[in-house]
Chain A
Amino acid sequence: MNRFLVPIVGFAVLVLFLMIGLNRDPTFVPSPLIGKQVPAFNLPELSDPDKFVTDADLRGKFSVLNVWATWCSGCRQEHPVLNQIAAQGEVPIYGLNWKDDASLANEWLQRLGNPYTATAFDSEGRVAIDWGVYGAPETFLIAPDGTILYRHISPMTMEVWKSEFLARIASVSTP
């Protein structure tokens, strides 16, 4: 029995590691920005380029920044969910329109509804790099003091909204 103990334990450890490895999403990259302050930015508003959207708009209350574009199919998929969240009116959603065409983006919001309190227009993708964005859609949760609490990659769903976003807001608000 004793001579089999070492190989069996070794094998069990290997299986454990492989099980964890298989259940992880290899395309998921954790954000080093979690727990840090929102990166400073100043971008024109999508529908009204004379106005500006800045990081100051995100502070002072719990807010959400959603990275989207008209070329992104996942964004089309999550759009009704964003509309639903916006209709509940608990947390304002700010948009970051990423490497997109302004007229196409405005048309998209007119056709599908506009869940965004304001949308920053990042045509060159520089602000997206500061936020560590590597795909759309991405959705950030921001605390009133400007700390980034969470980043969700892939389309938003009502389940994710409740379990990851609302739950975090509740736990931070009532420590």
Chain B
Amino acid sequence: MMLYRTLLILACWLFMSSAYSLDAREPLSDPKQQALYEQLTEEVRCLVCQNQTIGGSNAPLAADLRREIHEMVAAGQSEQEIKLFLTDRYGDFVLYKPRYGGPAALLWVAPGLLLIFGGFVMMRILRRRAAMPVNLDDEAESPESHDGTEN
């Protein structure tokens, strides 16, 4: 039992590195640029396999986009410039984290609006309830009571 478990862990460990070796490119000499490159590959959607980032996909288009981003980062372009390059061609959908603005603004504002609306409804219900006369005796005598006593 112990042996199997050890072997299983070792087998998993063996494949761990392959998950991160999609990108065989030389790391950029500037660590800041390398960090930006790695960050962008995790934030850009692969449009061929839409639930993967381009960092996690081995689709040819993802490889092309990684190359393109790698070159732009190496050329000293900023995060904003690179994101603009991508959205100009592929639309906002290419970014996993949508920008604020345009139709996407509704997505950002909706939770707040719903909270305000819900709070408003709740307040109305609570006010109405507070305005109702509280009379426990009435309840027991009401024909709708389910306490089993028929009167």
Contact = CB atoms under 8 A, between A and B. Distances in A.
Pairing of A with B: yes
A89 interface: no
Interface residues of B, number: 14
20 contacts: A27-B50, A29-B93, A30-B91, A32-B87, A32-B88, A32-B89, A32-B91, A99-B60, A125-B60, A125-B64, A126-B68, A129-B64, A129-B65, A129-B68, A129-B89, A132-B90, A132-B91, A134-B47, A134-B90, A135-B47
B61 interface: yes
A90 interface: no
Interface of A: 26-27, 29-33, 99, 124-126, 128-132, 134-135
Contacts of B68: 126, 129
Contacts of B91: 29-32, 132
A132 B48 contact: no
Contacts of B60: 99, 125
Contacts of A125: 60-61, 64
Nearest to B61: A134
Chain A to chain B: the 3 pairs with minimum beta-carbon distance, closest first: A134-B47, A132-B89, A125-B64
Interface of B: 47-48, 50, 60-61, 64-65, 68, 87-91, 93
A132 to B, nearest CB: 4
B68 to A, nearest CB: 6
A32 B90 CA distance: 6
B102 to A, nearest CB: 11
A29, A99, A130: which has the most chain B beta carbons within 10 Å?
A29
A128 B48 CA distance: 14
A131 B61 contact: no
Given A29-B91, A99-B64, 6 more contacts: A29-B90, A29-B93, A33-B89, A126-B64, A129-B89, A135-B47
Contacts of A124: 64
A97 B87 CA distance: 23
Contacts of B48: 134-135
Nearest to B46: A134
A101 to B, nearest CB: 13
Contacts of A27: 50
B18 to A, nearest CB: 24
